[in-house]
Amino acid sequence: MNNIQYPPTTTPLFTTTPVLVIDQVEGGLVATGSIINLEVNTTSQYVPLIAAGAVFGTLCLIGVISIIVFILVLILGHKTFDEYPFFVIVWHLTAANAIHVTCIITSILPLMLLDLNDDKNSVWYTWASRIMAVSEQAALYLTLLMTINRFVVFVFPSLVEYFSRRNLMIMAIIVWLYVIFIVVWNVIYGTIKVFSKKRLSQLTLVDQLLGGNILTQFFNLSFTILPIIMLIMYGIIVLAIMNKRSSTDTLHDKANKRDRSFLWQAFVITLALELTNVTGMFNFYFQDKAEILQWIYTIFNYSTSIFNQIVNPVISLTCNRMIRGTFIKIFNREISSKWVSETSESPTMATRSQTSCLSRFQKMVPTKRSASSRIFEKCHHV
C-alpha cells in the first residue's frame, strides 16, 4: 500500500498563484519528494502523470524559444516599433512573461524532477513563487492596459493623445506598483494560514474561493471578471472597425477574415487568463488528496500558468502583421549578409560569379512585400 503524503497543516488556502508545490507563507514544500520518486502502480495513474508532464515540458520549451525570439525581434526592430507608443506596453508585458517563465524553469521544474532538501531550497522557492504571483497579476493588468489602448484607438480616437509613449510608460509603472501591492497584501493578509478540515468546514464557499477579507476578494474577483470584460471590449472594437469599413470594399471578405482572426486571438488571450485564475481558485480542493492527484493537478495548474505567459509572444509572432513582417525582414537580411560575406571570402571569386549568386538569392526572396515590410524598409532606409 502506498504511503500517502499529506500537506502540512499551515498551508495557505488561496493565493493567485498555484501553491500545491510551494507554501508561500511558511516557505516549505507542500508536495514532498519528486515525480521521479513517486510510487505509481497502475496505468491509470501512470498515463495521466506522463501526459501532464509532457504537456508541461513542451509548454516550457515553447515558452523559452518564443520569448527569446520575440525579445530579439523587439530589439532588432526597435526603430520601427519605437514609432508606436503601443509597444511600450508590449515591452512591459514581455518582461513579465520572461520573468514568469524563468522562475518556473528555475524553481518548479527542478522541484518536480529532483528530490530536493526542504530547508536548503525553501528561500528561493518561496520568493520564486511570489515573483510568479507578481508576473501573473502583471500579465493580467498589462493585457488590460493593452486592450484599453486598442479600444481608444478604434472606438474613441479623440482620446488617443492621452496614450502617448510617456503616459503609457507611467501607466505601466503604476500597474507594476499595483500588482506588487496585491501580492504583498495576499501574502500578509490574504491567505488563511491555518489549513485543516475543521477550519475549512467553517468557511463559506466565497471565503474558500476568493479569500477571507474584502480586499482580497476584490483582487481575486477582478482576476475573474476582467478577462470577460476584455473579450467584450474586443468585440466592440471589431464592430467599430466593421462600421467604419465601406461595404463596397473589394477586399471585404478578406477584411472579415481578419476581423474573425482578431476575435479569435482575443478569445485565446482571455481564455488563458481565465484558465490560470480558475485552476488556482480550486487549489484548496486538492490539498488533502492523494499525492498522485496533487502532482497531476499541480502540473496542470502550472501548465495553464505558463500557457498564459506564452500567448503574448506566440500570437504576436504569428498573427501580428507588423511584428511578423519585421521578423521576416530581419531573417532575410541576415541570410543576405551571410551570403555576401561567404562569397566575398574567396579571393578567386570573380565579380560576375558574385553577381550571379546574389541574383539567385534575390529570386529566392519574394518580390511582393507586405505592407509591414515596406514600412520597415522605409524606416530603415533599406
In a domain, 200, yes or no: yes
Residues 125 and 151 in one domain: yes
What range defines the domain where residue 369 resides?
330-380
Residues 292 and 368 in one domain: no
Measured torsion, CA atoms of residues 297, 301, 306, 307, in degrees rounded to the nearest 10: 90
Residues 295 and 152 in one domain: yes
- Below-50 pLDDT ranges, the chain: 1-34, 36-37, 192-205, 248, 339-340, 343-382
CA-CA-CA-CA torsion sign (32, 305, 125, 183): negative
Q: What's the pTM?
A: 0.71
Last residue of a domain, one of 319, 342, 362: 319
Residues 354 and 223 in one domain: no
Last residue of a domain, one of 319, 342, 366: 319
Phi then psi dihedrals of residue 22, to 5 deg: -120, 130
The neighbouring-strand residues paired with 101 are none
Residues 313 and 334 in one domain: no
Looking at the 3D structure of the chain, how many domains does it have? 2
In a domain, 11, yes or no: no
Residues 288 and 159 in one domain: yes
Residues 219 and 147 in one domain: yes
Instruction: Find all residues with CB under 8 Å of 32, minimum gap 6, and list them.
Output: 5, 118
Residues 132 and 193 in one domain: yes
- Number of Cβ within 10 Å of residue 290's Cβ equals 14
Q: What CATH number has the domain bearing residue 216?
A: 1.20.1070.10
**What pLDDT, on a 0 to 100 scale, did the predictor assign at position 360?**
45
In a domain, 179, yes or no: yes
Residues 310 and 342 in one domain: no
In a domain, 17, yes or no: no
Distance CA 141, CA 172 (A): 9
In a domain, 37, yes or no: no
**What pLDDT, on a 0 to 100 scale, did the predictor assign at position 321?**
81
In a domain, 121, yes or no: yes
Distance CA 146, CA 87 (A): 9
Residues 224 and 287 in one domain: yes
Contact 50, 297 (CB under 8 A): no
Q: pLDDT, tens digit, for every residue of 267-325? A: 889 889 888 888 776 666 666 666 667 777 778 888 888 999 999 999 988 888 888 88
Last residue of a domain, one of 319, 339, 355: 319
In a domain, 5, yes or no: no
Residues 353 and 211 in one domain: no
In a domain, 195, yes or no: yes
Residues 344 and 286 in one domain: no
For residue 211, is it left (φ>0), alpha (ψ between -120 and 50) or beta? left
